[in-house]
Amino acid sequence: MSLALLVLLGASVVAAPADVRAYPTPVHDPAIIKQGDWYYLFSTGPGVTIQRSQDLVSWAIVGSVFRTPPDWTHQEVPRFDGTIWAPDISFVNGRYLLYYAVSSFGSNQSCIGLATNATLDPKSPEYRWHDQGKVIGSLPWKDDWNAIDPNLAWDEEGHYYLVFGSFWDGIKMAAINPDTGKLLKDPPELISLARRKDVTNDPIEAPFVFQHAGLYYLFVSFDYCCRGIRSDYKIAVGRSSKLTGPYVDRDGLPMSDGGGTIVLEGYDDVHGPGHNAALHDGPRDLLVHHIYDGTRGGMAVLQVRPIIWSEDGWPQAGPALNYEPRAAPARQN
């Protein structure tokens, strides 16, 4: 995913309120976490771009995780162009774990790596990213899955899993040792969570597991990103009483058999909403994702939305809190 592509990169339920600011934040594949009064946003970029905000609207770039990608990334993925994909951020056992993906378009010769930090405050003397190297990789002549789009999830019993995957045979899960952030077993025992069925090229990726009211919700993105205003990405979800599944959609169809309830899809000048994260933020839950902005030539920008939970416990996307594209008014003759 090159910088040129990121410029081209840019949900559908409720119109945004009139006071939403009209200044988009460029971003692709956002991951979010809060430390103190600051929200930190990590996204796809040459060294994993880091932004922060106190209001979810005005964001400032505060650096990157890497100045240059770790040496091992080029050795493991020869076609890697230096742009690190789809970071995921968590706070576990007193430190921040940032998983990231190294790959190239159209190939499942991919790897997921890990970097750690004691703090996210760039002014802290303890602030320093330590690369921990490769966590898991996939090879086209060996694996029917793809080691990209990582997300760390855990249950009430303290079992940790890395959820990942794209296209091929869908979304997978592998157990993680929380002390190291690496695989609990190597080679891992993979658990299959979701895949597309009878859909050309199996377009499913960007998993994110979120807990609510004692249940686990598996968000994924269906269809295609990275095509500007031609992107038809959309966010879908299923849920389970166990972290390891099975996950089913609102109609009871297993996600392992092609199920998935649509949460958000394109509308008006909002194209291809997807690759979401979610955040418990005090009394509210937030859905964080990118869109391709039709008013800016398909640029990928950030949207933050409240999650509205239905009476039967299914997530719905509320109006954007930070930015809603608005087409320019028609010229009057």
- Chain centroid to Cα 266, Å, comes to 17
Query: 11: which 2 tokens?
Result: 């949900």
* Predicted structure pTM score: 0.92
Query: What is the pLDDT at residue 49?
Result: 97
- Could you tell me where the DSSP H helices lie in the chain? 3-8, 71-76
Query: What is the pLDDT at residue 333?
Result: 42
Query: What is the pLDDT at residue 286?
Result: 98
So where are the chain's domains? 3-317
Query: Mean pLDDT by 10-residue block, N- to C-terminus, for the chain (333 residues)?
Result: 36 43 89 98 97 96 96 94 96 98 92 98 97 97 95 97 95 98 96 90 95 98 97 98 98 97 97 98 98 97 98 97 76 44
Catalytic machinery residues: 29, 205
Q: Which strands form 130-138's sheet, in the order they lie side by side?
A: 85-92, 95-102, 110-117, 130-138
Nearest Cα to Cα of residue 42 among 101, 105, 95: 101
Using only C-alpha atoms, the chain has a radius of gyration, in whole angstroms, of 19
What CATH number belongs to 3-317? 2.115.10.20
Cβ–Cβ under 8 Å, residues 221 and 228: no
CB-side exposure of 234: number of CA atoms within 13 Å?
15
